[in-house]
Chains A and B, each alone.
Chain A
């Protein structure tokens, strides 16, 4: 039984299917007039975010509230590190308040794994450095599954952009592959992983060659703030080589799905008109995010798994 959700690696195919099935159930709940069930009444979920992410935090808090759990937010600016309190002290303080789950977002890889070794509460990784973002992968998988059916067998997925520095790419590629999709990372070598061991993917630098065969185009956000690292010469050149432009979109199959973890840079990795176009499932991803996070919290706190 799942105690924490730290990495997609921790999930067997059957665990993934179970979480996604549960996600479907909660998606039905979220579509009701009263999108709330009493399942986690009396449980407390705290979000511990060492990195700004209003979207992810709101999604988790909404999920917890729709399960009737109590929520607390512990926002940490970089300065509290300067104040000298170690991560361990912080989480042990929070646990002493009596919490059942801690949702951790941290700029350093593995921080949620460390937290899980220090406390009894369930730990959910809400994004750790460049490492993983497992609930993003689950919502992506749920979105894709709702369009493709339970198995993703043989679905051809291209993930375009800075996979090397992306926790989303690492988690989503692994989840898609575990569900049977064929995943290709697309980008210049400066944006592709240094080693592909442990990545169930192929890579290419040639986006155009792939276009006609793709079932899913998954665009990663280009981080403007990392521009000084000179991973590529300019945004203009990036868009020219790897952006999903209207011209490239015309070469996709008519039913190819367009996904993006948000927030989008319109006109950079994706043309503005495509973001709202017929193939785009980007807003569905957001809605599905609440449902899979409900599924994760329910599975961690509602199954009666013994808490050690």
Chain B
């Protein structure tokens, strides 16, 4: 999962997991599973919105940007039109600035005016919901979309804000201390996949 979504000053929390050792627990998605998930989400997006003309896919740094591009390519493949794809850096909108170092991850670039369009925010893992909250704020300053939807590859639960995804690749029940790691060839230089990792010392791990 994306590191920023896990940030809390809580020793139980994966945000502080750099201190502890994490071990591999299970492979959740194969490269093929991931491809199918992309295809399915792309179709659901187009179906829900009755086409792709007024869509903008906006990926959240870092892996959400790559996923948004992939979804754009899939949609272009079956709809025969270019979907606008942008990227959003939410660092300066986070609510944990001052609690830990928050550095920008990339440049916000949305190639079209979002005003009047439907924006689909894209991220890899939905966890506490705080990144999406920051993304909604960041988006507001770019304009007034007609609607905002959310697409994620994995929803792992443990929400701390009233936020839900419109398009989900897989609902994956997890323990709070666990970590969901999405691998994308163009970002990580490895084979595509989704893995579940957990602390080497599981003592004190809360149940989901």
Question: Which A residues are closer than 8 A to B by beta carbons?
Answer: 1, 18, 21-22, 25, 28-29, 32-34, 36-40, 43, 67, 298, 301-305
Which residues on the A side are within 8 Å of B104 (C-beta)? 21-22, 25
Question: Which B residues are closer than 8 A to A by beta carbons?
Answer: 89, 91-94, 97-104, 107-108, 137-138, 141-142
Taking chain A's interface residues, is the majority helix, strand, or loop, or is none over half, making it mixed? loop
23 CB-based A-B contacts, threshold 8 Å: A21-B104, A25-B89, A25-B92, A25-B107, A28-B107, A28-B108, A29-B92, A33-B141, A34-B141, A36-B141, A37-B141, A38-B137, A39-B91, A39-B94, A298-B92, A301-B98, A302-B102, A303-B98, A303-B100, A304-B97, A304-B98, A304-B101, A304-B102
Please measure, in the bound complex, the distance between the C-alpha atom of A36 and the C-alpha atom of B137, giving whole angstroms.
11
A304 in contact with B92 given A25-B107, A32-B141, A36-B141 (CB within 8 Å): no
Which residues on the A side are within 8 Å of B89 (C-beta)? 25
Complex: chain A residue closest to B96, CB-CB:
A304
Number of contacts between A and B (CB, 8 Å)?
Answer: 50
Given contacts A22-B103, A36-B141, A40-B97, 12 further A-B contacts (CB under 8 A): A25-B89, A25-B107, A32-B142, A37-B92, A38-B93, A39-B91, A39-B92, A39-B102, A302-B98, A303-B102, A304-B100, A305-B101
Which residues on the B side are within 8 Å of A21 (C-beta)? 104
Complex: chain A residue closest to B89, CB-CB:
A25
Distance of A67 from chain B, by nearest CB (Å): 8
Complex: chain A residue closest to B109, CB-CB:
A28
Distance of A146 from chain B, by nearest CB (Å): 14
Distance of A29 from chain B, by nearest CB (Å): 7
Distance of B132 from chain A, by nearest CB (Å): 15
Please measure, in the bound complex, the distance between the C-alpha atom of A303 and the C-alpha atom of B99, giving whole angstroms.
7
Which residues on the B side are within 8 Å of A67 (C-beta)? 92
Please measure, in the bound complex, the distance between the C-alpha atom of A302 and the C-alpha atom of B98, giving whole angstroms.
4
Which residues on the B side are within 8 Å of A298 (C-beta)? 92
B141 A302 Cβ-Cβ under 8 A? no
Closest 7 CB pairs of A and B: A37-B92, A39-B92, A25-B104, A304-B100, A34-B141, A303-B101, A302-B97
Complex: chain B residue closest to A42, CB-CB:
B98
Distance of B8 from chain A, by nearest CB (Å): 12
Distance of A6 from chain B, by nearest CB (Å): 21
Please measure, in the bound complex, the distance between the C-alpha atom of A303 and the C-alpha atom of B92, giving whole angstroms.
11
Complex: chain A residue closest to B137, CB-CB:
A38
Please measure, in the bound complex, the distance between the C-alpha atom of A33 and the C-alpha atom of B108, giving whole angstroms.
13
